[in-house]
Chains A and B, each alone.
Chain A
Amino acid sequence: MKSEILYPGAFPMVRVELSAGETIKAESGAMVASSPTIDVESKMEGGFLGALSRKFLTGEKFFFQTLRASRGPGEVLLAPTVPGEIVVMELDGVNEYLVQKDGFLAGAETVKIDSQMQSLGRGLLGGEGFFILKLSGKGTLILNSFGAIHRIDLKPGQEYIVDNSHLVAWSATTSYNVERAAAGWVASFTSGEGFVCRFQGPGVVYIQSRNPGGFGHWIRQFIPVSE
């Protein structure tokens, strides 16, 4: 499997070349175009209950689509729903990533996807919801973000603070605690940050340069209200 990001920036698309018989899992609705040799199958990853739990618990789509090069090699073009960058990474079988529910775009068949429940405090305040995706296994993994993706490298014990809801993915070796942005409750909210996540390395943290919730809030004022 070879992948290439087309039109990097706000409206990128990813081209994935599949050799004969190869498959790729993608978020439902992610396919933009494909060679005629590619078949689209819908698959409930993790069986019906797994799909159900993913749908209701993480808010991810119920079905993943599986794109299979069943009639010879070909290519597929994939794109996320929201404007924002795409990042392609290789899972080596040891590194595991936790991804917020909208961050997954596509992955090789060998990439394993699980829903994971967060602790109550992180779920309530972390901005990712109570359930996140845990991606492990080996192979290509494609993530998408809202805005640009920025990678933060953390050495063992190194800390970094990220505003909640800017998170895309982070290594399983990092850990984070949710805390107030400022020392006082009032200052935390009047500063507009509310809660932040204090990450501790080692590992990497991928963040997105725009906050989907904040954008939704901003755009609401321009939507005409029908009487």
Chain B
Amino acid sequence: MDPNALCFGGDFPATGLPCHVEVIPAGITVRFGDESSDTKDGAEAVPFDQLSLSAGGLNHDQLVVRYGSEADARVLYVNNPAVIHALRAAAPNVATGDLEAAASMVRRKRHTQRLSWIAAGMLILSLGLVLWFGSDLAVNLAVDRIPVEWERQLGETAYRDFLGRHTVVKEGPAVDAVQEMTRRLTDQIPGDPYRFEVSVVRSDAVNAFALPGGYVVVFTGLLRKAESGEEVAGVLSHEFNHVLQRHGLERVVKQVGLMTVLSILFGDQQGLIGLTKQISGELLTLKFGRAQETEADLTGLQLLRRAKIDSSGLVRFFERMAEQQHEPIEMLSTHPMSAARVERLNAEAKALPKQTVEPFTFDWNRVQGSLDVSR
């Protein structure tokens, strides 16, 4: 006779007294074996009408059978499937009514448990999807929270560092011309939080770049390559708009990772300052994304028109760059040109109403000539 249930109650041990439960036509018998102190004959018969059935245990996987008077109450815990089955088959409806109610309660509980697991799984999945697709949104939110002052510090570190390592053209017609373009453009930026600073750096590279905070560098190579002041102004307008749209900052935040983004969102902006040094070196090699280039193209075009600068200069310059795609021109490495990009810019320019143009005061040939002389 192997025990198949545990009996609790009275002065039985807390772990329960192992017992053998058997289902008989009139009820059940409980046999405690030899060591039982309570029952003399070792077997106890309980009719069905004295039993109360329910479910219990951690996962409600045990059948709980209660019987006996208040003072001498016994509780049986049965998890032996054969006994449970026999009880269900033999017991009259009065007793099994409770049992069926208990069983359906267990089923309901298991069902809710399964549902909650499924819900949790779906929650985790959707959270993953949100993180995956919503990271741009998170980046933008984080970027919005970074004060312009920090952006300026970030850019300035890299800017001063770069200028220190290169020859800056301090004066002359080229600098005057670039200053005039800058003035014309920045005058048209309402509520400009940036103080744009443009330096002309001596280099054969046909390029220009903008650092966060409004620090822009134009290489003499680009001035030489440009056929008019309007072309240079077009490139400047494009670069200024990278700054205004905080594209550099977006790239930085993307590079340093989502954790930083989150910590900025949740207020730990100190962390970013620590990264400044590390990032400022990387800023110079920063590449903008295709969407950012397009945005800067289009907003650059609008800025040119507000400044009454012939916007076909920008289009023309990019057009020429696109044609020379296969030549090793540095501008192309950081500003990948494509026929499609030029086409879109062209279409955008054509869609705008005809603009009134105010020419620059400088003579472009003289500006270019000055570059050769001072060399």
Contacts and interface: CB of A to CB of B under 8 A. Distances in A.
A154 B6 contact: no
Nearest to B117: A120
Is the interface on chain B under 10, 10 to 19, 20 to 34, or 35 or more residues? Answer: 20 to 34
A94 B19 CA distance: 9
B75 A120 contact: no
B77 A173 contact: yes
Interface residues of A, number: 25
Contacts of A176: 58
A204 B16 CA distance: 9
A221 interface: no
B281 to A, nearest CB: 21
B148 to A, nearest CB: 32
Interface stretch (B7-15, B173-181, B202-210, B324-332): B7-15
A173 B6 contact: yes
Contacts of A120: 113, 116-117, 120
Contacts, number: 72
B201 to A, nearest CB: 37
A119 B113 contact: yes
Given A156-B75, A173-B77, A95 B58 contact: no
Interface string B205-248: 00000000000000000000000000000000000000000000
Contacts of A155: 8-9, 14
A121 B109 CA distance: 13
Contacts of A174: 57-58
Contacts of B62: 172-173
A95 B116 contact: no
A154 B57 CA distance: 13
Interface in A6-24: none
A202 B6 CA distance: 10
Contacts of B117: 120
Given A94-B4, A173-B77, A153 B14 contact: yes
B79 interface: yes
A95 B61 CA distance: 14
A93 B14 contact: no
A98 interface: yes
A98 B58 CA distance: 9
Interface of B: 2-6, 8-9, 13-16, 18, 56-62, 73, 75, 77, 79, 113, 116-117, 120
Interface of A: 92-96, 98, 116, 119-121, 153-156, 170-176, 201-204
